Structure 1
Amino acid sequence: MRGLWVDAFGPGLKTRAQVAQMVDEAVKLGVNTLFVQAIRRGDCLCMKSGLPLATDPDLEKNFDPLAIAVRLGHARGLRVIAWASVTGVANTAAPNTSPLHVMRTHGPDSGKNSWLARRPDGTWQEGSDGWLDAGIPEAADFMVNSVTSLVRNYDVDGVQLDRIRYPDGGAWGYDPKTVARYAAETGAKGTPIPGDPAWQAWKREQVTALVRRIALEVKSVRPTAWMSAATITYGPAPRITDPSAFRRSRPYTDVLQDWPTWVREGLIDLNVPMNYKRDGVADQGAWFDGWNSYAASVRTRADGVLAPLAVGTAMYLNSPAVTAAQASRSVGAGLGWVGYSYRSPTPGVIAGQQTTAQGLESVGTALRAKGEPLAAPLRWTAEPPSLRGLMGRVVGTAQPGGRVVEAWQGGKLVATGLTDGSGYYGFLTLPAGKTEVRVSGQRWSDTVPARGVARLPDLLARDVAPLRR
């Protein structure tokens, strides 16, 4: 896989002419996949998602950027994956003006109806940004429906989840509804301190549950859709020889993103670590190689399948020669490559010393040189490894979240999981065949299909078992 991120903050998606030019330049560059930003900040550069249209004076009227990008990209042999910012929904410096935007309906002034992630003192801004709290069930429902709508309404080849985490800093999740839910599910007393390991683990599970449910809903609409995530690689990489090292890394402790678990459980088909490092700056070159090696070491899923992995690099931070070198090291290790971004392919473009077209040409020359990753154009035709699943929901209880769910096949326990705040559960690495689900004293048998998602009927919970164990 050779990819290019196309973001919504500069030229590339705002007019029909820009989209046509972007596709032409991507083909010339030699990539085979476009990650086209659709959901930006609780809004969409598309017209059929259920979200308000992005507020941008440069956006052409009566124009659906995602639809045109898919049509033109497919016509040129490119795969087009809809890129979605999930929990990151607002920027106060450039707010969406629609009265239907989530910041108007469930924003900071919505009282008990607010869905925002908050610090212990109640503040919600991280710089100029606002984020939804994955621990609020209604907010999670909103995020699931928003992303799934992209697959339901557009012929995209998949979705990529970005900003699928809590904000930087760790001290988030203090909306009173979230704290009350944590106490109800775990029995914890009082307000947890930010560094409480149990509190952090619970919030981390809320993010994972959100990824799980999006994956199951996407696969239920289209089993062949790629489920991807742009994952965090802050700081030095964990040591491969230490199985617990990731649990001390910044992605795990700071933003509560457990992407090795997402890979292992088949929640994402394609991991794209945002390995944004600068060769030659302190230890960053070694960090880049370390994260590549670590991500490659955790590619094996619970069912033994090796999950695809593509390395995301920051073209905007590096010279074309360094971009080519990082891409070459990634591809040489048997991994894919994705460059960020079409709008900012070189530091020279960021500094105003080159146009975007000039920057793309200089990067393309480096990437297409003899022996470099894009020297021989390739098609990416693989199918995603997760083509089937099983999902359901627990109802009839005041505390649907945090319930242990077991999947049994042939008399053997084959998987366990937890329900989310709305009672949903599911699995994506089960073998096809008859499966029994056990949760809260209830049992139900169904068949996991060879392709597609089996959706079990709602199970009425009987509160005869602890929520967790």
Structure 2
Amino acid sequence: MPPAAAPGAALPGAALRGLWVDAFGPGLHTPAQVKQTVEDAARLGVNTLFVQAIRRADCLCLNASVPPVSDPELAPGFDPLAAVTAQAHARGMKVIAWVSVTGAANTAKPNTRPGHVFRTHGPAAGAASWLSRRPDGSWQEGRDAWLDPAIPGAADHMAQAVLSLVRRYPVDGVQLDRIRYPDGGAWGYDPKTLARYRAETGRPGTPAPSDPAWQAWKRQQVSFLVRRIALEAKALNPELWISAATITYQTPPADLAAFQTTRTYADVLQDWPGWMRAGWLDLNVLMNYKRDPLPEQAGWFDGWNAFARRVAVRSDGAPVAVAAGTAMYLNSPAVTAAQATRALNAGLGWVGYSYRTPTLDVYGERQSAAQGLRAVREVLRAPGGALAAPGPWTEAAPVARGLLGRITGLTVPGGQRVQAWQGGALVAEADTDANGYYGFAALPPAPLRCAWAASAGPRRCPPKGWCACRTCCCAT
């Protein structure tokens, strides 16, 4: 693996000062709320808004492939994503469309629109259900339902939802959240998922949740979804920032081998170091939600930041941007300020969660959101504070030469090994996903030949075997 950035050196994205704006309370539902949100963010001194667009397979917008949210608080005919993007851009701020990728529904507040995926492919859809399930067939995690990335229709639905935002809104990037399986490990037991696993691997029976081969296969399905979205989104807009909000549970790992023992990798099946190495992520925003008053967690915060910067490098040697996302809602303003400063001193960017709950007292309903914002602004904007000298984040998204292709017409489209050759040398190889898509990023600038092995012997990947991209991506 190429060496990481030198200790103390700033990574790309070090100028990022961000704020998550969620859709679970005031902030995005009316023109007045959006105006206030952008004004408050400007006064706070942030330069990037991570705006929740797709929440639970529905959108705080009017022009996505998924239906709008059905909240009564949403002003009729109002498009929050369009409004916040226009107003933030006018202030010199970037807007990243934040997407809960696998979110399907919350039973306490279901979307009531007829075309919503929970109605068409939910628990009552029988064999057409796209939900992730436990071995006993249950699908609820608390009150939430999750889509299974190993089900072909679900994977395509999730990819198209993100891509519709890229096509129809002038956002500066997309952030993939809930790009994983639910906590607990025992998920992915829909009959269609099990049938795919058996067909692709040749393994009979029903695997145990702890079966390493089963875990690795499901982890691969999550990674395939990241790959598909990243490569296709970059083909639509090479200047787009591809980001993920990533898991940092408990004790930080010392190295990649230790990472594979963490809950991030082994429980929720998220391999974000691999996504950075493959060139699918331009920006990794750690959900490093720790509480400094607990000494153990203060160490965890710094340890995860240190690990992330050590592995923030693509296979071609280019560094990847990393930002520490902090839990403002779990901490006092003083702790938020301290964590933001430590992140910046480590050469990372910073993103706070969240606009709606900027302090522990707001989260505990002992303080209004306006009071919390004022309190956190005072410490972040104080001399020497993380936002003392606000400025724009003008850095351009990195350009990576990549290829996205698809094999069609096979009985088993997933799990086909595809190789990329340049000048007689094998430069990369990857397996196809549930829909037959394969792809590579961070490729050297030379003509590329793809080949795949099927029962009839090696063949060129359809529809064309050579790619001489001069821009960011080419999709075959």
Name the TM tier (shorter chain). Answer: over 0.9
Question: How far, CA to CA, are the matches of 1:314 and 1:419 in structure 2?
Answer: 37
Question: How far, CA to CA, are the matches of 1:454 and 1:448 in structure 2?
Answer: 9
TM-score for the superposition, normalised by structure 2? 0.94
Tell me which residue corresponds to 1:236.
251
More contact order relative to length (CA 8 Å, sep ≥ 6): 2
Tell me which residue corresponds to 2:177.
162
Give the alignment partner of residue 126 of structure 1, picking from 123, 136, 141.
141
Instruction: Report the alpha carbon displacement of residue 386 of structure 1 after superposing the two structures with TM.
Output: 3.8
Give the alignment partner of residue 361 of structure 2, picking from 344, 348, 357.
348
Amino acid at match of 1:323: T
Question: How far, CA to CA, are the matches of 1:345 and 1:128 in structure 2?
Answer: 25
Instruction: Report the alpha carbon displacement of residue 382 of structure 1 after superposing the two structures with TM.
Output: 1.3
Tell me which residue corresponds to 1:100.
115
2:392 maps to 1:379: yes
Instruction: Report the alpha carbon displacement of residue 352 of structure 1 after superposing the two structures with TM.
Output: 2.2
Question: What residue ranges of structure 2 are gaps of 5+ in the alignment?
Answer: 1-15
Amino acid at match of 1:451: T
Equivalent residues in 2 for 1:370-409 (5 A)?
A: 370-409=383-422
Amino acid at match of 1:172: W
Amino acid at match of 1:287: W
User: What SS does structure 1 have at the residue aligned with 2:407?
Assistant: strand
CA-to-aligned-CA distance 1:350-398 (integer Å, 9 cap, x gap) = 2222221111111111111111211111211112224432111111210
Equivalent residues in 2 for 1:305-384 (5 A)?
A: 305-384=318-397
Equivalent residues in 2 for 1:218-233 (5 A)?
A: 218-233=233-248
2:91 maps to 1:71: no
TM-score for the superposition, normalised by structure 1? 0.95
User: What SS does structure 1 have at the residue aligned with 2:447?
Assistant: strand
User: What SS does structure 1 have at the residue aligned with 2:383?
Assistant: coil
Tell me which residue corresponds to 1:442.
459
Equivalent pair of 1:432/1:447 in contact (CA under 8 Å): no
Instruction: Report the alpha carbon displacement of residue 282 of structure 1 after superposing the two structures with TM.
Output: 4.5
Question: How far, CA to CA, are the matches of 2:298 and 2:98 in structure 1?
Answer: 27
Question: How far, CA to CA, are the matches of 1:282 and 1:331 in structure 2?
Answer: 20
Question: How far, CA to CA, are the matches of 1:397 and 1:301 in structure 2?
Answer: 32
Question: How far, CA to CA, are the matches of 2:40 and 2:295 in structure 1?
Answer: 33
Indicate the larger mover: 363-372 or 319-328. Answer: 363-372
Question: What residue ranges of structure 1 are gaps of 5+ in the alignment?
Answer: 457-469
Question: How far, CA to CA, are the matches of 1:378 and 1:290 in structure 2?
Answer: 28
User: What SS does structure 2 have at the residue aligned with 1:283?
Assistant: helix
CA-to-aligned-CA distance 1:200-219 (integer Å, 9 cap, x gap) = 00000000000000011111
Equivalent pair of 2:244/2:283 in contact (CA under 8 Å): yes
Tell me which residue corresponds to 2:216.
201
CA RMSD of aligned residues (A): 1.0
User: What SS does structure 1 have at the residue aligned with 2:123?
Assistant: coil
- Which aligned runs of 4 or more in structure 1 are off by greater than 3 angstroms? none
Equivalent residues in 2 for 1:388-467 (5 A)?
A: 388-440=401-453, 441-443=458-460, 444-456=464-476
Tell me which residue corresponds to 1:466.
none
2:151 maps to 1:136: yes
Tell me which residue corresponds to 2:67.
52
Equivalent pair of 2:132/2:146 in contact (CA under 8 Å): yes
Amino acid at match of 1:413: L
User: What SS does structure 2 have at the residue aligned with 1:309?
Assistant: strand
Equivalent pair of 2:52/2:99 in contact (CA under 8 Å): yes
Tell me which residue corresponds to 1:465.
none
User: What SS does structure 2 have at the residue aligned with 1:248?
Assistant: coil
User: What SS does structure 2 have at the residue aligned with 1:150?
Assistant: helix
Tell me which residue corresponds to 2:288.
275
Equivalent pair of 1:388/1:448 in contact (CA under 8 Å): no
CA-to-aligned-CA distance 1:216-257 (integer Å, 9 cap, x gap) = 1111110111100000001110113xx311110010011000
User: What SS does structure 2 have at the residue aligned with 1:110?
Assistant: helix
CA-to-aligned-CA distance 1:117-138 (integer Å, 9 cap, x gap) = 0000000000000000000011
